[in-house]
Amino acid sequence: MKLRAIVGVIAISGFAFAAQAGEGKIAYPEGYRDWPHVKSMVILEGHDLADPFQGIHHLYANEAALAGYRSGNWPDGAVIVFDLLKYAEGGHALQEGDRKLIGVMRRETARYTDTGGWGYEGFAGDSKTKRLVSDMMGQCHGCHTGQEKTGFVFSKLRK
């Protein structure tokens, strides 16, 4: 019984990996809302990043990315999620609104050699399939290159 369960898990994860590698795409980061929160930021109209990042964003890191934030060395498998929500202003407060998109960075040094070892993807709104990135360098990494000293990551883990 136990053995069968283990074999089943190996078969399933093997399949998931093959599907992901076969398509050459970054998987939707299932469950990222349960990952450790790195920091948040509100980008208002008029900010350099307002198009397309105006809104409230929260950053989340998986275990490998958390190790990267702490050590400065980003292990393969590290994933960071940029979760961007609209805001509604009223009553001297900013409330979270609908999700605009999520941005994803995934560390795989051997694969993403043109973009500093990071793969980039975006998913529109709440969709897990509507992808936004067709040019990792032009749409994403070009701007992140400025952060070479910190492994192309802008944010820092706050206390």
Positions that interact with ligand HEC (CB under 6 A): 39, 41, 49, 59, 80, 82, 103-105, 120, 122, 133, 139-140, 143-144, 153-155
- Cross-strand partners of 90: 93
For β-strands 93-107 and 79-90, DSSP reports them as antiparallel
- By beta-carbon proximity to ligand HEC, the closer residue of 59 and 85 is 59
Smallest distance, ligand HEC to C-beta of residue 58, A = 9
Judge contact between 14 and 32, C-beta under 8 A.
no
Cis amide linkage into residue 75, ω under 30° from 0 = no
> Shortest gap between Cβ of 94 and ligand HEC (angstroms)?
15
Going by the DSSP 8-state scheme, the letter that residue 6 receives in this structure is H
Sign of CA dihedral 149, 138, 39, 108: negative
Closer residue to ligand HEC in complex, CB, 23/148? 148
Please say which residue, 4 or 58, places its beta carbon nearer to ligand HEC: 58
- Smallest separation, CB 36 to ligand HEC (Å): 13
